[in-house]
Amino acid sequence: MKYSDCGNKPDEELCCLSRIIVNLFSNQSKTFSKLRVPPLPTECMQQILQHIADQGVGSLYPCLLVNRFWCNNVIPFLWARPFEGQLPPENRYKFMLIYLASLTTQEKATLNNSLSPYNISIPDLAPPLYNYPMFLEEFSYKNVETAVYSCICRWNTEEFVARNREEQILVLASTLCQLFMRNSKSLKTFIIDKFLNHSDLPDCLIFNSGQPGLRNISNLTIDCTKPMMENTSRLLELIPSLCKKIRCLEVKILFFENNTDIIQAIIKIIRAQESLTEFNLDGVRSGESSDIIQALQCQSLTITTIKFENVDFTADSLRSLAICRQLRNLSLLYYRGLTMEGSTSSGEGRGTGSSIWSHIKFDLRKLRLRNSTKQPLISAALIRAAGENLTCLSYDVITRETIEATTLYCPNITELELLDYLPHHDTLVYLLFRGLHQIKRLTLPQYN
């Protein structure tokens, strides 16, 4: 295989080559330690390492020891998401020490001064060999809080930490956020979440002061399931002016605690984007969901994937969603509010569900339905609205209405998942197979 052709080889060959290389250089014998390794083009090396990383970044550690070229290529993968997964406190502490060692002398002095009331002093650390914050691709404030908490628990007694926990975490986290915003040129994913219920993010100006900071992020997750504090709310208001390149936006809100200010901030973020392609929303009542769907219409030329979970709909808001003509993947999970009757802005068809649903037309390729109220007519209406180009379908209401809607209006189904399937559904499934001639995969739940 020519190195210049490596980027064009199938994934299977790259995976095979990755395993061979890892096995080769994880061998600690003297024979292999003296082996001279020919250089690979950086592009090929990165593809190989990516396949290894996909199996777990832990597999990359032996590659660090091959030579300097390999080490330089492996480091960015290891430090792209250093806090990912369930790390033990010891590992989080080690990562934190390396980041703290990356601070300037002035930053260390300022931090020590701020931590002195808590009897904490940053250890005297030698500068690291690499600019590790530069490689960060995913920032989660919850992960930062968790890592900081691991540090202060080592530096102070449990009783003292419990009394001053939020204040100590905020001081250290603010310094780290400054470090990341100043250095993280690879930052693509930003997650606003929290480890503690009543903690707050650092001052929002920190996220606006560094370059490039948040300006190049393409994935934004906003978790509002814990109490919203002042700095967090201010950051949400700032994001529309900072972030214009978000491709994937995910929002989680407590269904019974919707905040009008949060909803308006989300709407402004949606409208500010140049080309939003994916939107996920969890937990919004009908009035707020209608406003958000109206905002999504400004992304109708680019958005392809939408997931709503624990969201309250009306038929009118769903019809507004159908304006997004590029929408191909739609998930409605545990939705509420939809009925076969509803209203339209013009009053046309008021009280006659058939006229309202006749205006809801999609051109989907994938549809997932989880019906909270288990209403077969609603599920059937959604299946009819999906469009004849639908190829993947998943739903949990197995009745004659949903089966007939599937066979009559979605003839090109190749993958079908039937949740809540029970043996008495066998006759309906038989009708399903008689009507679907292109189906290749059927998934049913497993029961013990």
pLDDT in tens, 142-163: 999 988 988 888 887 766 666 7
**53 C-beta neighbours (distance < 10 Å), count:** 19
Q: Residue 257 falls within a domain, yes or no?
A: yes
Q: What is the mean pLDDT of the chain?
A: 84
**Secondary element (H or E) of residue 336:** none
Q: Which among 264, 167, 282 has a CA at the least distance from the CA of 224?
A: 282
Task: Give the per-residue pLDDT at 158.
Answer: 67
368's tokens? 């997932």
Task: Give the per-residue pLDDT at 30.
Answer: 47
**2 C-beta neighbours (distance < 10 Å), count:** 8
d(CA 313, CA 335): 7
Task: Give the per-residue pLDDT at 28.
Answer: 47
d(CA 330, CA 318): 11
Q: What is the pLDDT of residues 348-365, one digit of tens each?
A: 444 444 568 888 999 999
Q: Which residues contact 11 (CB under 8 A, 6 or more apart)?
A: 51
Q: How far, CA to CA in Å, does 340 sit from each of 144, 187, 281?
A: 47, 45, 23
Residue 198 and residue 265 in one domain: yes
Q: What DSSP character marks residue 131? A: -
Q: Which residues pair with 140 in a beta bridge?
A: 191
Residue 8 and residue 103 in one domain: no
Of the three residues 78, 113, 145, the one that is the final residue of a domain is: 78
Q: Residue 305 falls within a domain, yes or no?
A: yes
Residue 31 and residue 167 in one domain: no
Q: What is the pLDDT of residues 221-230, one digit of tens each?
A: 999 988 888 9
Task: Give the per-residue pLDDT at 6.
Answer: 43
Q: Residue 309 falls within a domain, yes or no?
A: yes
Task: Give the per-residue pLDDT at 348.
Answer: 42
364's tokens? 């989907």
d(CA 101, CA 399): 62
Q: What is the pLDDT of residues 359-399, one digit of tens each?
A: 899 999 999 999 878 889 999 999 999 999 999 999 999 99
Q: Residue 372 falls within a domain, yes or no?
A: yes
- Average pLDDT in the 312-316 region? 86
- Average pLDDT in the 291-317 region? 93
- Average pLDDT in the 65-72 region? 84
Residue 343 and residue 257 in one domain: yes
Q: Which residues of 396-410 are buried (b: 16+ CB within 10 A; e: fewer)?
A: bbbbebbbbbbbeeb
Q: Residue 374 falls within a domain, yes or no?
A: yes
**125 C-beta neighbours (distance < 10 Å), count:** 14
Task: Give the per-residue pLDDT at 187.
Answer: 93
Residue 378 and residue 261 in one domain: yes
Task: Give the per-residue pLDDT at 1.
Answer: 39
Q: What is the pLDDT of residues 83-112, one digit of tens each?
A: 876 677 777 888 889 999 999 999 999 999
Task: Give the per-residue pLDDT at 133.
Answer: 93
- Peptide bond preceding 127 in cis form (omega within 30 of 0): no
Q: Residue 123 falls within a domain, yes or no?
A: yes
- Helix, strand, coil shares of the chain, percent, nearest 5, are 50, 15, 35
Instruction: State which residues form the domain around 39.
Output: 3-78
Into how many domains does the chain fold? 2
Residue 46 and residue 17 in one domain: yes
Q: Which among 346, 341, 345 has a CA at the least distance from the CA of 356?
A: 341
Residue 251 and residue 209 in one domain: yes
Q: Which among 364, 284, 354 has a CA at the least distance from the CA of 315?
A: 354
Residue 355 and residue 315 in one domain: yes
Q: Residue 238 falls within a domain, yes or no?
A: yes
206's tokens? 């920190």
- Are 73 and 18 within 8 A, CB to CB? no
Q: What is the pLDDT of residues 8-57, one digit of tens each?
A: 455 565 566 566 655 655 554 444 455 555 567 778 888 888 887 777 77
- Average pLDDT in the 422-432 region? 86
Residue 210 and residue 320 in one domain: yes
Of the three residues 30, 57, 78, the one that is the final residue of a domain is: 78
Residue 152 and residue 301 in one domain: yes
Residue 41 and residue 127 in one domain: no
**Secondary element (H or E) of residue 189:** strand 189-192
d(CA 169, CA 155): 12
Of the three residues 379, 394, 409, the one that is the final residue of a domain is: 394
Between vectors from CA 94 to CA 90 and to CA 95, what angle results, nearest 5°?
120
Q: Which residues pair with 220 in a beta bridge?
A: 190, 249
Q: What is the pLDDT of residues 228-264, one digit of tens each?
A: 889 999 999 999 999 999 999 999 998 766 678 889 9
Q: How far, CA to CA in Å, does 184 sit from each of 40, 194, 210, 415?
A: 27, 21, 9, 41
d(CA 315, CA 375): 14
Q: Residue 312 falls within a domain, yes or no?
A: yes
Task: Give the per-residue pLDDT at 445.
Answer: 84
Q: Tell me the residue type at 44.
A: C
Residue 10 and residue 159 in one domain: no
